[in-house]
Chains A and B, each alone.
Chain A
Amino acid sequence: MAADDTRVSAVTPWHFYALLGVGLFSLALYTFIVQAHLLRKILAFNIMGSSVFLVLAGLAGSPAGEAPDPVPHAMVITGIVVAVSATALALVLMLRLRDTSGRLTLPEDMGG
């Protein structure tokens, strides 16, 4: 699939979804970095994930009313399952960390 010149760059509603996606991604990333509380980090991760899915699926809308491209949708479903799994593991890990160390934040750096 070489880049062919018939494709034009123009703004469509689908671009809007993708823009929304990267905007959300940036916002959530800010939370992910700045917030120390693990639950917030995990939530931020989930929002980042959703915004990536928004980019992936949002741009899959077809221009001329045809059926939308199913491949990104399938990828999003796979991605959601992965995100759910990761979230479950992260939450349980967080609770275990609280039980053992009494904290809901990451420990200080070790050794430097």
Chain B
Amino acid sequence: MVREAMLQYADIALILVPLAGALLSFVLPRAVSLIGIASAVGITFCALGLTETLLTNGVRQHLVGGWGAPLGIELRADGLSTLMLLMTAVVGLGISLYARVWFRSEANKAIWFWPLWLLLWTALNALFLAADLFNLYVTLELLGLSATGLTALAGSAAALGGAMRYLLVSLFGSLLYLLGIALIYHQCGNVDIALVAECLSPTSPSWAALALIVSGLVLKTALFPFHFWLPPAHASAPAPVSALLSALVIKATFYLLLRLWLDLFSPLAPQLDSLLGLLGAAAVLWGSLLALRQVRLKLLIAYSTVAQIGYLFIAFPLASVGMSAWNGALYLALSHALAKASMFMAAGNLMRHAGHDRIRELDLVAQRLPLSVTAFALAGMSIMGLPPSGGFVAKWWLLESALQQGMWSLAIVLVVGGILAAAYVFRVVGFAFTESPVTHEACPIPRAMEWIALVLALGSLLLGVFVQPPLEVLAVGTPLAGGN
């Protein structure tokens, strides 16, 4: 009975459960972490339930208010959405468990973290389910504001500056998006993605809308050269927040870009994919090089995110043949979510332990926090694209598409990016093996924080072993068939 209800309402429950959790945790600050964990577990079950219904009954559609497009708003859960929801649920659960321990010593921050995080989760789920352009705008804003609040939570000047920059960029990106929607509405008379897809034509309003929306989302996704805002924000936030920003928030805007690209824009501007690919390639190289230059661990990880975002965009020009490029990009998104969350958690552990995150002074941490270093290294495998890991599988597919189409330069970027990633990951791991004496007071780290990081890292490796299940989910009602 409960099970059936859950299967039937899994999609809307994915929005209502985190929302209810947020409201409860706001009203009852004393029970925040309990409410938060309960919500996270609930969301995870809902996501699993949705996956099950998707696999048995196919694409799910929910007409909010019973109206249906174009008058009403529709929610739609196909394989792509469900996969993103599932990823968010799993990584979100990990982040929640981690945050519960992390904020145990900072109760005054926990009471803000939980409602903000649950509202951010609401925004993520709502975004992945939305099939309506304007509704997507609202979810984008909810996402941006809650992410800003979370970023600023650390309270340091760096965090506030990072949050401010992020807020301005995010708001500006949303405005570009909204202006694009305005043009689309006045051209098509509605904002339902499926209906708009039938209406857009190669005329200047459509192109303008495309340019506005794509640039707004590219800005929010921090694609090179619009990545400038990402490292300060992601590196200065508290560890659980860094984890969720890098692992999930970036993915949401990328998902949206991908969705709109596939459904609306790709026939409109077939040349644009080369530009996106070029920027992606530049992001891979530039992000990796800057990651190599960083003195602080969290900045290194943040720049690694910049580079990994680049891979996601390399898929655009590769996707004209078959599905493997999109599969690769999505697989990279999935494994990066797990790996990057784990890396930021490991970095958070090291930082708490040592009181700083200067890479050169991470002496002997391998002995003191072996699990965290292991988590970092294993997550690093996925980032480097070494087997067995989700990152490897993703890179395999991307490389396959690149070589099949003779896009040598992109293939070279993919290969070189992996080498650079190895260089920066091992810069950190290398210091873990030093044998310098203890020079500072070390703060003990709860074991749970290390284990959670490790489990997420292992998850990113398992993605490299169990490849079929995610692909099966992705294949349901897929928009990824691509042009041939």
Chain A residues proximal to chain B, CB less than 8 Å: 1-3, 18, 22, 25, 32, 38, 41-42, 45, 48-49, 52, 55-56, 59-60, 71-72, 75, 78-79, 82, 85-86, 89-90, 93-94, 96-97, 100-101, 106-107, 109-112
Question: Which residue of chain A is the closest to B160 with respect to CB atoms?
Answer: A97
In the bound complex, CA of A41 to CA of B165 (Å): 11
Q: Are B167 and A1 in contact (CB under 8 A)?
A: no
Q: Using Cβ atoms and an 8 Å threshold, which residues of chain A touch B137?
A: 79
279-307 of chain B: CB within 8 A of chain A: 290, 293-296, 299, 303
Asked if A86 meets B167 with Cβ closer than 8 Å, knowing A1-B189, A3-B199, A52-B182, the reply is yes
Chain B residues proximal to chain A, CB less than 8 Å: 70, 134, 137-138, 141, 144-145, 148-149, 152, 155-158, 160-165, 167-168, 171-172, 175, 178-179, 181-183, 185-190, 195, 198-199, 201, 228, 231-232, 235, 290, 293-296, 299, 303
Q: Are A90 and B168 in contact (CB under 8 A)?
A: yes
Q: Using Cβ atoms and an 8 Å threshold, which residues of chain B touch A75?
A: 134, 185
Q: Using Cβ atoms and an 8 Å threshold, which residues of chain B touch A32?
A: 168, 172
Describe A's contact surface by its main secondary structure: helix
Q: Using Cβ atoms and an 8 Å threshold, which residues of chain B touch A18?
A: 186
- Give the residue of B138, B164, B195 whose beta carbon is less than 8 angstroms from that of A38: B164
In the bound complex, CA of A71 to CA of B183 (Å): 14
Describe B's contact surface by its main secondary structure: helix
Q: Using Cβ atoms and an 8 Å threshold, which residues of chain B touch A49?
A: 175
- Give the residue of A3, A89, A100, A109 whose beta carbon is less than 8 angstroms from that of B157: A100
8 closest residue pairs by CB, A with B: A107-B161, A101-B157, A56-B182, A100-B157, A59-B186, A97-B160, A110-B232, A111-B299
Q: Are B157 and A48 in contact (CB under 8 A)?
A: no
Q: Are B156 and A100 in contact (CB under 8 A)?
A: yes
Q: Using Cβ atoms and an 8 Å threshold, which residues of chain B touch A110?
A: 158, 162, 231-232, 235, 299
Asked if A90 meets B164 with Cβ closer than 8 Å, knowing A56-B182, A109-B228, A110-B231, the reply is yes
In the bound complex, CA of A85 to CA of B198 (Å): 34
Question: Which residue of chain A is the closest to B166 with respect to CB atoms?
Answer: A93
